[in-house]
Amino acid sequence: MAAGDEKHLLMGTSTCGGCLAYWNSCMKTRGRQLEHGRGVGEALRRTTAAGTVEARRQGRRREARTRQQQDAAGTVEVDRRNNETARTVEVQSYT
């Protein structure tokens, strides 16, 4: 076993796919597949996908917070009325 492999074996399965900082340092020192058998590309795809999902979640939370603030301020009602009017006009134009 090379120096540092023991730590890599202990941490590799739990952090290589989940923590990009550790994963990068891990892959710089070892130009081979990760200890848990997935290729470099697979691990990167999983890490990127997890980041994308989290960004979407945060975006939805931000939108919900904005909606709640608008509800509290009473500004959403106008928007809702406009949307209903737009939908009604749209439906009438198709018939």
User: Which pTM does this prediction carry?
Assistant: 0.28
**pLDDT for the residue numbered 54:** 75
**pLDDT for the residue numbered 55:** 75
**pLDDT for the residue numbered 85:** 53
pLDDT tens digits, residue range 41-95? 665 666 666 667 777 788 888 888 887 777 776 655 555 555 555 555 555 555 5
Q: How far apart are CA 5 and CA 3, in angstroms?
A: 6
Angle at 35 between CA 38 and CA 29, to 5 degrees: 105
Find where tokens 């076993």 sit.
1
Number of structural domains the chain divides into: 1
Domain that holds residue 22: 5-94
